[in-house]
Amino acid sequence: MPTPSTFKRCNRELRFLRSRLGRLIRDIQRKLENRPELKAAFAPSLSKAIRIRHQKQQQRGPKLYSWHAPEVVCIGKGKAHKPYEFGCKVSIATTNHRAKGGQFVLYATAFPGLAYDGHTLRRVVEETEALTGRPVERAYVDKGYRGHEVANPRRVFRSGQKRGVHGQIKRELRRRSAIEAVIGHMEVDGHLGRNYLKGPLGTRVNALLSAVGYNFRLILRWLRVFLRQIYRAIINALLAATEPLSPMRTAF
């Protein structure tokens, strides 16, 4: 468990690193004073270094958490074992009814910056309806979507909600947690948990490709079952054709 001496040592090392970074920035700036042809090449790196040098832990506004991916933000999870995550927010929409072959992903996109979940729900619902060509009858979301902006707010139900939840809606709301398994498979089997594409556009493309790959894996699993049945039927037919005829069925 951290102690006061641990925090003092941590702050001392942080001040040491900031001093070294400040010296390096000033040294590069002095050497570039008479080299205008190099200032444009060093400008992006110097701006990032100055931003890291002066940002504080408790400051408000965007911070730089990754040198090669400036779009990365700190997302508060509110969980004891994982209070924070670093990355970009991704919204995923699936069907709520129980599917025999698994839950297909209907919509997936990434939102750069610290977008509030409730402010993104309207866009997700509208684009899901445009992709599927069907209206969204009811939307089941988690507790982070409090204060959403949807055209029909009475058809949106949050996890843990009690008012207006009864009968079929209560049963469907319990099915909301089924999307957690879909997200887990997309993070582990796909590349949703680790993005190798650069920039905000690469983040959105990675989220879309992860959803497409998940749907393709479900389709391939169905095709494997279907092909096994075809092979089994062919083998049974061949075995039946090669069986010797019994004496009673021998033709004269």
pLDDT tens figures, 5-18: 888 898 899 999 99
Look up the pTM and report it: 0.77
Residue 170: band (very low, low, confident or very high) from pLDDT cuts 50, 70, 90: confident
The residue-averaged pLDDT of 32-41 equals 87
Write the pLDDT tens digit of every residue in 206-234: 999 999 999 999 999 989 989 999 999 99
Residues 64/52, Cβ–Cβ less than 8 Å: yes
Write the pLDDT tens digit of every residue in 89-100: 899 999 888 877
Specify the DSSP class assigned to residue 164.
T
| Residue 216: CA count within 13 A, CB half-sphere | 8
Specify the DSSP class assigned to residue 133.
S
SS3 at position 243? coil
Q: What is the pLDDT of residue 252?
A: 44
Is it the case that residue 239 has pLDDT exceeding 70? Answer: yes
